[in-house]
Chain A
Amino acid sequence: MGGKSKRTFKLSLITLLSLSFALAGCGGNNNGNTKDNAKAEETGAAQTAGAADTGDKIEPFNISVFLGEAGQQPTPDNKIYKKIKDETGASFNFEFLAGDINQKLGVMIAGQDYPDMMTGNTKLTAAGAYIPLEDLIEEHAPNLKAHYAEYWNMMKDPNDGHIYILPNYGVYNGKVNSAWYSGPAFWIQKAVLKEFGYPQVKTLDEYFDLIEKYKEKYPKIDGSPTIGFEILNYDWKNWGLFNAPQHLIGHPNDGGVVVKDGVAEIFADKDYAKQYYQKLNELNQKGLIDKETFVQNYDQYMAKLSSGTVLGMFDQHWNFNAAEDSLTTQGKIERTYVGLPLVYDKATKDYYRDLAVLNLNNGFGISINAKDPVKIIKLLDTLIQEEWQKTFSWGIEGEDYIVENGRFMRTQEQRDNAADATWQLANKAKSLFSYLPKMEGSFSDGNSTDAAAQPEEYKAGLKPFDKEVLDAYGYDTYVDFFSEPPANPVYYPAWSIDLIEGSDAKIANTKLNELQTKFLPKAILASPDEFDAVWTDYVGQIQKANVKAYEDKINEQIKWRIDNWSK
């Protein structure tokens, strides 16, 4: 009996263990997935083919969507989503990003847990989370094909030549109206320009002269000490410190490199960069730079801007837009900012404003888990048509805008509605639209695709003080401060080059960032006679980091783009 019972015991133990392992295995990936997909694709195709035969019978279906940014769920009775559902049968199930995007993507990738549509992201592409779209588009989506015709080659993934992502911005038709500049610039308070009779400011020296004079004249604004110049260098929002030198020599925003004749090199350690930081060092001696500038976080930075005491800073407009809104609400229009495209000397032409480019790190891709990719691509194909695009950007005619002599306009009430976040949740498909493939520029009837950029609309919404500033310079909008952008070079922009996760290039880039974050504040805050020593140390450290790997990767990709994207 003893022997037998021992065996039974062992047996049961083995069963138990295998059970536990089986349980542990349950959470793993589902290999059958791709097969299922293929099947679903077939049935989907059959279904739609059937639908075409029987006429316009609308079958309701649901699409789950992951959006790579925080946002708010639309109300259940949202007007636009209801219209989409009525006319195409599609309803959406949104998941907004909460927390860190990389962390979220890591979890999604590890669990192979993807919704039907996801934000474009190279991490997901690398993990094989999207299905290739080129055949789907060729077969089922003539409108999308036409929409992207010019950009077809650019949309291909550099690693395997497939198209995974439908970029949401960067495809233009017609005249491009733009009334709001969202990019980088040296910003200056409108009050400063007014104080000195609206001078033309072209160079860095002129800019800092104005700030210095204004601060001398008004040491306090609304009872708080005036802050001359502010630099934000917090976490990933570090361009305020890093990016200015490339613009000052008349180069567009290429991220960490300057590209000349198709050859990229970093500029962090070059002489023209040194010139800028030395200037900042000088300013710091004069007390024009905020003492706290390098220890503050983004909230503190925004609080300072919102108080109206900061005369100038280098930043991207969208980054501090909220502070300007706050100033406007407080009625301090004269404390909001004008973006200036500064350069070192008047001989250099400014190149701050660029034509938006196709960004493969945005827009939508369809995941390998999507049950019915054909339906989704057909839906997207429907939504890219002009009628729908108008519905998304302008709304419903008569309710959200009016048409006068063929021009789209809004009444003041409609204008106020459009700016009201609560109203938007019930009456706009804002978050979906921002990721959808979209028309930019003008519709075929000449109206602007972006309501805020419609010239009549923009003028009607201007505050009197803004009119005064623009009139003094003879401009229509604040965008006119910048030179008209030339056509983008084929490779442009270098910042969108994927450095490949974990590669030497990426490590070198991280190192470079680290050194800049550490040494540039040190150099700026050093006493002037120590500046050169800090700078030499900094340049030495950069040479030790494997910068060449970074430059090589960029150059390789630039060459690839020139070879593959040129027509």
Chain B
Amino acid sequence: MAETLETEIAVRHPNRRKKKKRPVTWSLIKSQNQLIWMSVPLMLYIILFAYVPVWGWTMAFQNYRPAKSFSEQEWVGFKQFNFLFTDDNFLRVLRNTLSMGIINLVLGFVTAIVLALLLNEIKNVLWKRTVQTISYLPHFLSWIIVTGIVATSLSINDGIINIVLMKLHLIKEPILWLSEGKYFWGIVGASHVWKEVGWNTIIYLAAIASIDPALYEAAEIDGASRYKKMQFVTLPGIKATIVILMIMSIGHVLEAGFEVQYLLGNGLVVDWAETIDIFVLKYGLAQGNYSLATAGGIFKTVVSVTLLLMANGISKRLGEERLL
């Protein structure tokens, strides 16, 4: 009892806690020496691949020229960031990145969860597996292939989308999908769903599998219909998974993509298609201006970490699961 009280006090008063801390003694180290040695490779790994590269961020404050040593680089302060933020296109590019990121996030979540719920209701195992396999196979295609398929399907000559819509009498003339900015975000969202929905579903199906069958039986005895069971057993059962994945994905909202937009974009839709990554490629990497590219990377990281912490904080306030 006294001990718990002590820790509570310690938590509230960090200063006092320091005094009360168990001293690191030789015997303690000795008793844990296997653990310490086991953690050394991991520490090295993390230092090498997670902390040492951060050193590269200094590039963002230089006019970095390759093959020169660190001391020879020219320091320019925030010039790269200034260029980034003051460019006419930057706001537009940020808007596109955010919008497509959010569209992908929301669509990705909704479709994956819905598909998981529906798949869970299929009792015919063979059919269920077939659906699952077909839906996750596109995940293994690279974007270059997927965009090729998308571009061909949207073509006006023999694109399947236009053919189907014509046959259904929904449109009178084939639509040139890739020439109109207003369709672009939708096309990108739909491509993402097509490519990733099956893959994203797997983790939810796993979560569903861990729900105690007794809960379903109990619900059935209480007279719950299929929909009610989904609503009151399945969904709450995978809530924790959903929230954790959601928090993690929010950190990646700015990763709206690069390949899709780059490969599907063209002059007519450039106002809707250009993302931060493409902008950085054009004005950074393609120009040999690695500093600008780094500045873009830092900006994205800072925003992403902020978003992640915010989502985590909100989730904590709401008393939900959280990541950190």
- Fill in one digit per residue for B34-65: 1 if any A CB lies within 8 Å of its CB, else 0: 00000010011001100010000000000101
- Contact between B282 and A514 (Cβ–Cβ < 8 Å)? yes
Q: Chain A residues with Cβ under 8 A from B268's Cβ? A: 294-295, 518, 521-522, 525
- Contact between A123 and B288 (Cβ–Cβ < 8 Å)? yes
- Contact between B263 and A297 (Cβ–Cβ < 8 Å)? yes
In the complex, A506 has a CB within 8 A of chain B: yes
CA distance A296 to B43 in the complex (A): 50
Q: Contacting chain A: which of B104-112, B149-157, B193-201, B316-324? A: B149-157
Task: Specify which of A109, A112, A127, A517 is in contact with B267 (CB 8 Å cutoff).
Answer: A517
In the complex, A300 has a CB within 8 A of chain B: yes
CA distance A129 to B289 in the complex (A): 18
- Contact between A295 and B266 (Cβ–Cβ < 8 Å)? yes
Number of CB contacts from chain A to chain B under 8 A: 107
- Contact between A5 and B29 (Cβ–Cβ < 8 Å)? yes
Q: Chain A residues with Cβ under 8 A from B155's Cβ? A: 292, 300
CA distance A285 to B298 in the complex (A): 48
Task: Specify which of A128, A225, A294 is in contact with B266 (CB 8 Å cutoff).
Answer: A294
- Contact between A24 and B48 (Cβ–Cβ < 8 Å)? yes
Nearest to B89 among chain A residues (CB) is: A514
- Fill in one digit per residue for A98-116: 1 if any B CB lies within 8 Å of its CB, else 0: 0000110010011010000
Q: Is the interface of A mostly helix, strand, loop or mixed?
A: helix
- Fill in one digit per residue for B273-296: 1 if any A CB lies within 8 Å of its CB, else 0: 000000000110111111010000
- Contact between B26 and A2 (Cβ–Cβ < 8 Å)? yes
- Contact between B40 and A507 (Cβ–Cβ < 8 Å)? no
Nearest to A19 among chain B residues (CB) is: B44
- Fill in one digit per residue for A1-32: 1 if any B CB lies within 8 Å of its CB, else 0: 11011101100000010001001100001000
In the complex, B203 has a CB within 8 A of chain A: no
In the complex, B148 has a CB within 8 A of chain A: yes
A68 → chain B, closest Cβ, in Å? 16
- Fill in one digit per residue for B205-235: 1 if any A CB lies within 8 Å of its CB, else 0: 0000000000000000000000000000000
- Contact between B48 and A501 (Cβ–Cβ < 8 Å)? no
Q: Taking A109-B67, A110-B66 as contacts, is the C-beta distance between A506 and B287 under 8 angstroms?
A: yes
B271 → chain A, closest Cβ, in Å? 7
In the complex, A299 has a CB within 8 A of chain B: yes
B297 → chain A, closest Cβ, in Å? 14
- Contact between B288 and A24 (Cβ–Cβ < 8 Å)? no
A27 → chain B, closest Cβ, in Å? 9
The winner among B26, B40, B282, B292 for most chain A CB atoms within 10 A is B26
In the complex, A520 has a CB within 8 A of chain B: yes
B29 → chain A, closest Cβ, in Å? 6
Q: Chain A residues with Cβ under 8 A from B24's Cβ? A: 6, 9
Q: Is the interface of B mostly helix, strand, loop or mixed?
A: helix
Q: Taking A127-B67, A233-B267, A514-B270 as contacts, is the C-beta distance between A297 and B288 under 8 angstroms?
A: no
Q: Taking A5-B25, A127-B67, A507-B283 as contacts, is the C-beta distance between A292 and B270 under 8 angstroms?
A: no
In the complex, B133 has a CB within 8 A of chain A: no
Nearest to B285 among chain A residues (CB) is: A102
Nearest to B174 among chain A residues (CB) is: A291
In the complex, B119 has a CB within 8 A of chain A: no
In the complex, A510 has a CB within 8 A of chain B: yes
CA distance A179 to B62 in the complex (A): 51
In the complex, B82 has a CB within 8 A of chain A: no
The winner among B67, B155, B282 for most chain A CB atoms within 10 A is B67
Q: Taking A5-B26, A510-B282 as contacts, is the C-beta distance between A233 and B288 under 8 angstroms?
A: no
- Contact between B44 and A234 (Cβ–Cβ < 8 Å)? no
Q: Chain B residues with Cβ under 8 A from A112's Cβ? A: 67
B35 → chain A, closest Cβ, in Å? 14
Nearest to B158 among chain A residues (CB) is: A224
In the complex, B176 has a CB within 8 A of chain A: yes
- Contact between A292 and B156 (Cβ–Cβ < 8 Å)? yes
- Contact between B66 and A106 (Cβ–Cβ < 8 Å)? yes
B269 → chain A, closest Cβ, in Å? 8
In the complex, B179 has a CB within 8 A of chain A: yes
- Contact between B26 and A517 (Cβ–Cβ < 8 Å)? no
Q: Chain A residues with Cβ under 8 A from B63's Cβ? A: 502
Q: Chain A residues with Cβ under 8 A from B156's Cβ? A: 291-292
Q: Taking A102-B286, A518-B267 as contacts, is the C-beta distance between A2 and B23 under 8 angstroms?
A: yes
In the complex, B161 has a CB within 8 A of chain A: no
CA distance A126 to B63 in the complex (A): 14
Instruction: Provide a sorted-by-A list of 8 A–B residue pairs whose CB atoms are within 8 angstroms.
Output: A2-B23, A6-B26, A106-B66, A109-B67, A291-B156, A501-B289, A510-B286, A521-B266
Residues in B lying within 8 Å of A, measured CB to CB: 23-26, 29, 40, 43-44, 47-48, 52, 63, 65-67, 69, 148, 151-152, 155-157, 176, 178-179, 263, 266-268, 270-271, 282-283, 285-290, 292
